Structure 1
């Protein structure tokens, strides 16, 4: 599990105006931390450290230490609000976690073995990944940075589901906890769609015939016009 630490300050001034002023200073990002048995607390996060942290994919599925007034709280990222067209984060939501309580989190799904995959390498197939992340439930200590599935032995026509993922100890799938009907497909190896050369030639022939016919119609029309004149 990756370790991240962010120094934050408590925000006393609230509202849209205060948040705009904070963003204009360009040193901190407005945020809020909530959950657990404590009231929501508006905070501001040091911008440079935060932007460096979000460059790492693991940041979004890791426990984060928030240092507030010398005290450290473990949290996870719950939501980021971004500027509609600028590469800027305008607000961040953090959820407090308890070492003794399970919580839900979406973690990335990494697919390995693509270069050795039988269906791709030997059978001209292609990978269709239907899920890029999976919602799980676990205690903070069991939170994985990501889940991994190996496709090296898969053949064309194979579909894998959530139940095919080997979950770490202490981790459960939220969807599967609702029953077999929620065993969603996560990827498949399908035959690559390659157009037949004969179809291309037939289409080319039809196009040429159509153009030739159009030219004849045009010439015929011109001849008729000349006869009438």
Structure 2
């Protein structure tokens, strides 16, 4: 799915100007990177609010139509109102087809219900990570990375090194070791609780 949205250049800056824009149904934001100057822009709140509700929008190269000039960008930061369903500010970074980008993509967990740890032992899946830092060219950017739990036994874990990454995608790992992605926790009770009186 390709996402395209409109952006308008803005001259006014500062808290007062941003407040006026938000009252008028617009979102202030910036587009930066790509060896080009930062441009201050505004977006239509309703249009971007609905796009932000789509998970794919957060991990896709999207197109900002800045007054007729198309910019390939990726969402970098979203500022929300503390308690209203209102977007306060958006940051987008330009991307170039021949330059690797570093971003986060969501993890999608599948087959938990048929894994031995859940189906046979009644365990509970604990999602330690829900997204992954990756590096790749824009053309190779996946919408998500699948984590298959079908062979996972109770008390065992899936690690980052065990994930099947799409072609051209590398994990950006900070620190040492091999981080846990998900684990199946053993649920105490059941057989143990019944065995105690008998003993």
**TM bin (shorter chain):** over 0.9
Number of the residue aligned with 2:46:
48
After superposition, the C-alpha distances for 1:70-109 in whole angstroms (9 at most, x for unaligned) are 1101001100011111121100000110101001010001
Q: Which is richer in helix?
A: 1
Gap regions ≥5 residues in structure 1: 202-229
Aligned-pair CA distance for 1:48: 1.6
C-alpha distance in structure 2 between counterparts of 1:62 and 1:47, whole Å: 20
Aligned-pair CA distance for 1:149: 1.1
After superposition, the C-alpha distances for 1:38-92 in whole angstroms (9 at most, x for unaligned) are 1111100111211111111111001110001211010011000111111211000
Gap regions ≥5 residues in structure 2: none
Q: Which is richer in strand?
A: 2
C-alpha distance in structure 1 between counterparts of 2:55 and 2:17, whole Å: 30
The equivalences for 1:147-186 within 5 A come to 147-175=145-173, 181-186=176-181
Aligned-pair CA distance for 1:194: 3.2
Displaced runs of 4 or more, over 3 A: 193-198
TM-score by length of 1: 0.81
C-alpha distance in structure 2 between counterparts of 1:16 and 1:187, whole Å: 43
Number of the residue aligned with 1:22:
21
C-alpha distance in structure 1 between counterparts of 2:4 and 2:27, whole Å: 15
2:108 is aligned, of 107, 110, 114, to: 110
Aligned-pair CA distance for 1:121: 0.7
CA RMSD of aligned residues (A): 1.9
Q: Which has the larger radius of gyration?
A: 1
Structure 1 counterpart SS, 2:21 = helix
TM-score by length of 2: 0.93
Number of the residue aligned with 2:184:
189
Number of the residue aligned with 1:69:
67
Pairs aligned (count): 196
Q: Is the 8 A contact 2:45 2:87 kept in 1?
A: no
